[in-house]
Amino acid sequence: MDKNNFLAPAVILALTCIFLIVTVLLFLYPNSAKLTKRKIRTGAAILALTSTIVSHQGCVATCYDMPEPEQNNEIQINDVYGDTVNICISEDTVVKGFIRNSTLSQYDYKILELDTIKFEGNLIPSDGDFNSNYEDFLIPIPSDIPEGQYDLRIYSGRYENLENYNRRFVLNISDSTKY
């Protein structure tokens, strides 16, 4: 065992014994200013020594949970059930959603049926530009889309430049309101 690794715990143990003895003496002689002063100094020495030992080991003690880092370009769809978006084509002509922590100026989407692209385009920002931390967007749904189940894939940036999509939703298109 290294001499420095042995010395610090030995000093802390000695200071703790002194602290306990002074505490007992202070209990017997409660009006002694000299014993009170000695107890405070000994306690401070214990705290200082243990804090320097802990800080040199790289441990950071805190009573707070560290927050998870926020994810950039977090895409969400309004009125989604799990990962399913139900659209009644006679009533709904757009899918609405939002992007949290938006860092790009363009987002793309594809609507696919069995890996065949049926429709594709850009997400439309509600205010005209993706330029703030929280952005509402619209995805237009063509009125001539047949009823059925589709994949809605949303990309951060141009999908031609990306291999993978950011979010995937199941898009149920129906002509009735029965969902």
Model pLDDT, residue 78: 84
Q: How far apart are CA 20 and CA 174, in angstroms?
A: 78
**Per-residue model confidence as pLDDT tens digits over 53-88:** 766 555 555 677 777 767 778 888 888 888 888 888
Domain ranges of the chain: 3-56, 74-174
**Per-residue model confidence as pLDDT tens digits over 101-148:** 888 888 888 888 888 888 888 888 888 888 888 889 998 888 788 888
Q: State the pLDDT confidence band at 34, using cuts at 50, 70 and 90.
A: very high
How many CB atoms are closer than 10 A to CB 39? 19
- Residue-averaged pLDDT of the chain: 82
**First vs last Cα of the chain: how many Å apart?**
71
Burial state string for 119-155 with b = 16 or more CB within 10 A and e = fewer than 16: beebbebeeeebeeeebebebebeeebeeeebbbbbb
In this structure, which topology does domain 74-174 adopt according to CATH? Immunoglobulin-like (2.60.40)
Which H or E run includes 6? Answer: helix 3-28
Residue 161 has pLDDT above 70, yes or no: no
Model pLDDT, residue 43: 92
Model pLDDT, residue 105: 83
Q: State the pLDDT confidence band at 23, using cuts at 50, 70 and 90.
A: very high
Residue 163 has pLDDT above 90, yes or no: no
Model pLDDT, residue 60: 57
